[in-house]
């Protein structure tokens, strides 16, 4: 089972808005050196809503190429169209991604039965292992634990990213899913508690700027080393909070630019981080000893 810090990696872009593959390769190398267990490409943090289908595919293929099998590649392949989600997932499988991450359909507000049929149809169309992604704060639709349990018996639906930050809900899920079903949180702020309770890792925004610390946090929390996990998490608390002062990935792309890792260009309708938050992000980076 894949465990640990899985970075929801940003999509670097040049100042003219084009994809910056050289910067992406450099970020991936940094993550591998820092202990990141997996690269989640073209998720929410990767600006999946504003990359074209062609760019989406290029990013997945490039990530598989750059990782060279050294860490897992989890390809964001979700869509609010089941047919499009199948197309993207088939593509990810064809170029060698290790997993797909499939978000609950957004905007069209399916029922629980609709969500079940959506994910079942994707799973039946491919062999690649699928990780479900529930983030009701963005999709409006909320994948209920009962529906996750129904989906967990499908052989290639192997896990879930739960971004609700609801630890009671997580505890209920841990007690009901099969033993080989992976549970990841999508909320950095509650990730330590989630893993100490039995979760298998985090699909992290914070890991974009603090990959080594997030890898350490995950290792100690999964091992049940509460004292060390808390100490590491204390260094990261400000980042967990302040990387969301504006909509993700606005702050984290600004932070990476501040660190000299890439351009901070972000596509409309998102805009650059408001100047009033610059010192807040700098302070959070200093608290984590990153700058």
State the pLDDT at residue 225.
97
Q: Could you tell me if residue 218 is inside a domain?
A: yes
Establish if 54 belongs to a structural domain. Answer: yes
The closest alpha carbon to 47, from 82, 20, 72, 81, belongs to 20
Give the mean pLDDT of 171-180. 96
* Residue 243 placed within a domain: no
- pLDDT-derived band at 262 (thresholds 50, 70, 90) equals very high
- Residues 60-84 have pLDDT tens digits of 999 999 999 999 999 999 999 999 9
Query: For 274, how many CA atoms within 13 A lie in the half-sphere containing its CB?
Result: 7
Domain count along the chain:
1
Structure tokens belonging to residue 49 = 């809503």
Give the pLDDT confidence of 23-50 residue by residue, as tens digits.
999 999 999 999 999 999 999 999 999 9
Report d(CA 252, CA 211) in Å as an integer.
13
Residue 247 within a domain: no
For the question of residue 161 being annotated catalytic, the response is: yes
Q: By C-alpha distance, which of 280, 242, 249 is closest to 265?
A: 249
| Bridge-based pairing state of the strands 38-41 and 72-76 | parallel
Model confidence at 240, pLDDT cuts 50, 70, 90, reads: very high
Pairing of strands 130-134, 99-103: parallel
**Is position 190 within any domain?**
yes
* In-domain check, residue 275: no
pTM: predicted TM-score of the whole model, two decimal places: 0.97
pLDDT score for 245: 98
pLDDT in tens, 75-127: 999 999 999 999 999 999 999 999 999 999 999 999 999 999 999 999 999 99
Catalytic residue status for 227? no
Q: What is the Cα 128 distance to its own chain's centre?
A: 18
pLDDT in tens, 200-225: 999 999 999 999 999 999 999 999 99
Give the pLDDT of residue 291: 87
Instruction: Identify whether 263 is part of a domain.
Output: no
- Among residues of the chain, what percentage have pLDDT more than 90? 100
Range of the domain at 157: 4-225
What burial class does residue 127 get, using C-beta atoms within 10 Å of its C-beta: 0-12 exposed, 13-18 middle, 19+ buried? exposed
CATH number of the domain that residue 18 is part of: 3.20.20.70
Pick the catalytic residue: 133, 184, 253, 261? 133
- Does residue 260 form part of some domain? no
Distance separating alpha carbons of residues 273 and 254, to the nearest angstrom = 6
DSSP of 244-277, one letter per residue? TSSSTTHHHHHHHHHTTSS-----TTS-PPPGGG
- Active-site annotation holder among 66, 91, 116, 161: 161
What's the rounded mean pLDDT across residues 159-164? 98
What does the alpha-carbon distance between residue 186 and residue 290 come to, in Å, rounded to a whole number? Answer: 22
């Amino acid at each position: 089972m894949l465990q640990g810090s899985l970075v929801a990696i940003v999509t670097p872009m040049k100042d003219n808005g084009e994809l910056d593959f050289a910067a992406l390769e450099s970020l991936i190398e940094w993550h591998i050196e820092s202990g990141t267990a997996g690269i989640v490409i073209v998720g929410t943090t990767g600006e999946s809503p504003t990359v074209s289908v062609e760019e989406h595919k290029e990013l997945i293929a490039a990530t598989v190429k750059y990782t060279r099998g050294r860490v897992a590649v989890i390809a964001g392949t979700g869509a609010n169209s089941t047919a499009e989600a199948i197309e993207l997932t088939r593509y990810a499988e064809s170029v060698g991604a290790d997993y797909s991450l499939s978000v609950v359909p957004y905007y069209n507000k399916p029922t629980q039965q609709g969500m079940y049929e959506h994910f079942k149809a994707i799973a039946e169309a491919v062999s690649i292992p699928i990780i479900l992604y529930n983030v009701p704060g963005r999709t409006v639709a909320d994948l209920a634990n009962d529906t996750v349990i129904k989906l967990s018996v499908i052989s290639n639906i192997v896990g879930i990213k739960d971004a609700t930050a609801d630890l009671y809900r997580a505890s209920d899920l841990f007690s009901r899913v099969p033993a080989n079903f992976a549970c990841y949180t999508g909320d950095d702020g509650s990730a330590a508690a989630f893993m100490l309770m039995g979760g298998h890792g985090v699909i992290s925004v914070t890991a974009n700027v603090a990959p080594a610390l997030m890898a350490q946090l995950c290792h100690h929390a999964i091992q049940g080393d509460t004292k060390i996990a808390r100490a590491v998490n204390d260094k990261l608390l400000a980042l967990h909070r302040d990387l969301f002062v504006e909509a993700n990935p606005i702050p984290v792309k600004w932070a990476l630019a501040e660190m000299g890792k890439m351009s901070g260009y972000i596509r409309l309708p998102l805009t650059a981080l408001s100047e009033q938050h610059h010192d807040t992000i700098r302070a959070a980076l200093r608290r984590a000893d990153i700058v």
